[in-house]
Amino acid sequence: MPHDPPATRTRALAGLNPSALVRLGMAAPAEEAPPAVPGYEILESLGRGGMGEVFRARQESLGREVAVKILRGDLPAAGWLPERFEQEARTMAALRHPNVVTVHDCVRLGDGHVAIVMEFITGGSLRTHLAAAPDGLPLAQALRWAREIAEGLRAAHGAGLVHRDVKPDNVLIDDTGTARVSDFGMAFSPLPDAARFTQTGTTAGTPGYMAPEHWRGGTVDARADIFSYGATLYEMLTGRLPQGNFPPVRKLRPEVPESVDRAILAALQPDAAARPPDMTAVLCALTEKPAFFTRRRVFAAGAAAAVAGGAGWWWLGQRKKQGDPSPAGARWETVAWPENPAASAISGGWRVENGVLLSDDRICILPLAQELPASCRLRLRFKRLAGNMSIGVFFRTPRGTAVCTLDGRGRHLGGVQSVNGETLNPGNSFYEVLQNGRSYDWTIELRPGRVRMWLDGVLRNDRDISGAELSVPDTWAWRPPPGSAALLLGSWNSAASFEWFEWFDETGV
């Protein structure tokens, strides 16, 4: 068959502009309209990431602005199932912490997408601030945000969540200048009883921040977040990522405290077992307060592993957490459980089994002693068995009866309720997520003008109550009458066990 002459083939392209064809080939595909999210009006796109796209939206029922993250529709093919996100969104929604972006809702859409509704933060990301500080943030600002990020991660880990993608892009700075950890879209629960939806070997994260065990596709836990946190803090202080033969921070910025430098290098240990075991240990290492208290918990430090180029891995050595500072020779007295706690209880159900005091799942208050010294120290070991509400120790003072609370108001707040009518809030309390089934050692120092609390040997609260009016919140459904007991135990709708309780007189100490 004869071929068409060349001129004929050329004429077939007549009328087409080659430049236009090139521009057409390079043009970005048309943006897809975001899926409709019932109850929310999508206003604008805030950005797209590896897991999906984030939009600014308006919650129609409350008229407030929120951030809506719509997860990619192809994630199930990679093993990231909608059920997993819904489960973790519920966990995150129960987590309230000033350094964690709040999750409001999780919505399964009709087309299979999942939308996570979050608090809308207006101050931009930590990445934006780093872009304006190529050699590192001002030291005071960097260390303040470092502590806030660590507190947020500690709260999430306490709730059983591992973030798995800690980096400056996932830390938001709110309009008060506070750092807030966000984007738990890759978070998962490492707890033994948690449902597993992530496929074994599935790897997600950001190179440069990922722990070695993470990018190898191995099992990750909170120590992977600690590695990523160390990389983030290194970048905050130096403007660069710790890659290759990187020097210690103090080589680049001599004004950085030595304790902070050691803490970063400890967090960046390639072996997960050689890193600090949890964010509490990291926070202690960052501040490196004098360890003159009684030994309570020690985390082992591995030997330093040399890094090529002589930079070296610095380690923290043997460190211990702060314990309650009991004076030498202090004589602790055991508080005896009532012979018939059910009969002597103010409310709820109480019983003793094998020497352990047990409360049921009602509002439980039990008197233990009629009098206390003007200054004393109390310590007890307890375990919350079920529920997610308060454990309390009541004490009487000349200015009223008060209660020291853990997990107050079901918001993981600890401190003294109520002082001058003000109950617990993030400004006057500390944050601690109690884990059911775990034993805690709680120490309380009571003085006429001050209350201090330690949990598992770490000082968590130091509250000035001088001249204040103290009271028991109405939620405990008990108004202490004149002459009521000076020391009581309580659990609020959460069954608990108390292994022992003891005290000593600090008057004159």
State the DSSP code for 339: S
In this structure, the number of other CB atoms found within 10 A of the CB of residue 25 comes to 7
**CB contact burial 298-326 (16+ within 10 A = b; e otherwise):** ebebeeeeebeeebebbbbeebbbbbbeb
b/e for 351-380, b at 16 or more Cβ within 10 A? eeeeeebbbbbebbbbbbbeebeebbbbbb
In whole angstroms, give the CA distance from residue 54 to residue 70: 6
Block residue for tokens 């999906």 = 52
| C-alpha neighbours within 13 Å on the C-beta side of residue 365 | 21
- Is position 165 annotated as part of the catalytic site? yes
Per the listing, tokens 């109850």 go with 39
In the Cβ-directed half-sphere of 156, how many Cα atoms lie within 13 Å?
35
CB 111 within 8 A of CB 66: no
Q: How many Cβ atoms from other residues are within 10 Å of residue 19's Cβ?
A: 7
- Which residues partner with 333 through β-bridges? 503
The answer to whether 499 and 482 have CB atoms below 8 angstroms apart is no
CB–CB of 276/316 below 8 Å?
yes
Q: Please state whether beta strands 64-71 and 52-59 pair in parallel, antiparallel, or not at all (unpaired).
A: antiparallel
Read off the tokens for 151.
Answer: 């507190």
Phi and psi at 435, nearest 5°, equal -105, 125
Report the distance separating Cα 189 and Cα 198, nearest Å. 10
Three-state SS letters, 17-50: CHHHHHHHHHCCCCCCCCCCECCEEEEEEEEECC
Q: What would the two tokens of residue 412 be? A: 């993981």
How many other CB atoms are found less than 10 A from the CB of residue 194?
15
Reduced to 3 states, what is the DSSP secondary structure of residue 167?
coil
Single-letter amino acid, residue 234? Y
Between CA 175 and CA 123 the distance in angstroms is 5
Site of tokens 């009991």: 326
DSSP helix/strand/coil, 228: helix
Backbone angles phi, psi at 437, to 5 degrees: 90, -5
Catalytic hit among 4, 135, 165, 462: 165
Beta bridge partners of 118: 67, 103
Q: Are 486 and 396 in contact (CB under 8 A)?
A: yes
**Which residues are the active-site residues?**
165
